Amino acid sequence: MITTSRDARLAALERWNKMLSNNPGLFSSNNIQGSSPPSVFVGSYGYPHVLAGPLVPPKFGDTSILDSPESWTGRPISDIIQYRMNLVRGIKSVPAKVTTSRYVEDLQDLAMGGSPTDADITFSGSLRGVGLADGHSAPYGPAGKIQESHISNITPDKRIQRCYYDTDLKASEAITHLYRTGTSISSIQKCFSVGMFGTERRLVPTKWSITATDDIISKHMIQKIQEYHMIDSHRVFAFAHMGNSYSVIIWPRRWAFGFSEAWFVDGNALFGSDCELGRGFVGPPNTAGAYYAARLAVAEYMEQNQFQGGAVVIREISPDYSIPVGVWQVREGIRAALQSDCTICHSMDESWNVSCSRMSIPKDAWQSQEGISRVVRQKTISDYIL
């Protein structure tokens, strides 16, 4: 029985896996040749031994759109499914602590690529399409065990290359440096996953690397944000895509962040929520990687505008979001909201009225969620001074 937002998330993931398992002949050959976007994937099953490999489509040319979440905002979910169904995942079991084998170094070269890279993969058996969506990363097509692989025509991203060869640079420092120099978050996540950063390097399952990258970057920004002055107005932002409606409220107070999401199952809204105050978040979050993705987008907005404030993000997920496509859409959806024109309000109550006017769930239901109520109701010294 589906009784929580987590259950609803898992049920939606199962729909993707069932779709693939019902199409066993999607790719019938045991060999695939094409241009990787570039893209790699590291599974978590069996850790500290992991199934790692490239993602390759059966075509050459500019395939970058197939694994470029930053370019997918506003596109229909059918487009994303089409992109991802074209990517075949090659897998080989490797120990997570060994990053110096020829195979892993090939994956690192691929992840470092600044443009699509040619790949030729032969599989030892038939491709399978079972259990491939995890809700953190964008889903992908069938998978097969690699018998032999060749990667060629690599053009490395010089920014990533410098961090890769700096073995004294901590992983967190490499991640924040690359973000500051304009490297896409999705590229950083892939490189981190195949053990390219840090003083003690290892492969990191993709779903962990996605959450860790969002967490590291946003924590770095929050440290700076807490030194800025407070915002002087109540602002409300909104954006909707792929069956997800987002609303963001930012108001005058010291840094605090709350996130709540609601999935609809049989007409009933199932909630999940999390929050943090000035001392940061202690997890794991009820809303999984979506929390860190949302926090990154909000922290990014505050740092760019050099102020701090309280922020709550509410996410209403309609049945149209039939197949989760990854937490990237949370980050990019909130980024899009914060880049749009905002509504200036005169009070918190007005802010909630404006925010919930775009939602089907009433404000009382959102405000009753612990992750929201703690942030909104908690008082700071500045509240009494003002």
Q: Is the pLDDT of residue 41 over 70?
A: yes
Q: Is residue 229 part of a domain?
A: no
Residue 86 has a pLDDT of 86
State the pLDDT at residue 257. 98
CA dist list (Å): 38 to 56, 65, 163, 186, 306? 8, 10, 18, 11, 34
Mean pLDDT of 28-36: 88
Is the whole model's pTM more than 0.85, yes or no?
Answer: yes
Residue 316 covered by a domain: yes
Encoding tokens for residue 20?
A: 């693939």
Of residues 319 and 328, the one with the higher pLDDT is 328
For residue 129, give its domain range.
5-216
Residues 22 and 146 in one domain: yes
Of the candidate ranges 190-199, 280-289, 344-353, the one whose mean pLDDT is the lowest: 280-289
Tokens of 329: 């859409």
In this structure, the answer to whether residues 186 and 244 fall within a common structural domain is: no
pLDDT for the residue numbered 380:
55
The pLDDT assigned to 129 comes to 67
- Same domain as 301, residue 239: yes
Residues 202 and 315 in one domain: no
Instruction: Yes or no: say if 299 and 334 are a contact pair by the CB < 8 Å rule.
Output: no
Residues in a beta bridge with 113 = 156
Please tell me which residue, 19 or 219, carries the higher pLDDT value. Answer: 219
Pair 199, 240 in one domain: no
The answer to whether residues 25 and 164 belong to one domain is yes
Determine, yes or no, domain membership for 42.
yes
Q: Encoding tokens for residue 294?
A: 């949302």
Answer whether 6's CB lies under 8 Å from 272's CB: yes
Cα-Cα end-to-end distance for the chain: 49
In a domain, 308, yes or no: yes
Please choose, from the candidates 171, 193, 43, 174, the residue with its C-alpha nearest in 3D space to the C-alpha of residue 110: 193
pLDDT score, position 376? 93
16 and 122 fall within a common domain: yes
- Of residues 365, 264, 355, the one with CA closest to residue 311: 355
Q: Quick check: is 227 in a domain?
A: no
Give every CB contact of residue 83 below 8 A, 6+ residues apart in sequence: 65, 66, 67, 72
From residue 169, how far is each of 98, 126, 176 by CA, in Å? 19, 41, 11
Q: Is the pLDDT of residue 220 over 90?
A: yes
Average pLDDT of the segment spanning 107-118: 96
Axis crossing angle, helix 185-193 with helix 206-225, rounded to the nearest 10? 130
> Does 175 share its domain with 302?
no
Angstrom distances, CA of residue 18 to CA of 23, 45, 129, 131, 152: 9, 19, 8, 8, 34
Output the pLDDT for position 161: 97
The domain boundary residue, chosen from 182, 216, 250: 216
Q: Residues 155, 95: one domain?
A: yes
| Percent of all residues in the chain with a pLDDT value above 90, rounded to a whole number | 77
Amino acid code (one letter) for 339: Q
CA distance 41 to 44: 10
Is the same domain home to 118 and 195? yes
| Domain tally, the chain | 2
**pLDDT category, 142, cuts 50, 70, 90?**
confident
Lowest-confidence region among 7-21, 159-173, 183-197: 7-21
Residue 141 lies in a domain: yes
Region for residue 205 given its phi and psi (left: phi exceeds 0; alpha: psi -120 to 50; beta: otherwise): beta
Q: Radius of gyration (Cα) for the chain, nearest Å?
A: 21
Inside any domain, residue 223: no
Higher pLDDT, 354 or 27: 354
Does one domain contain both 48 and 177? Answer: yes
List pLDDT tens digits, range 69-94: 999 998 888 888 888 888 999 999 99
Q: Is residue 221 in a domain?
A: no
Same domain, 188 and 248: no
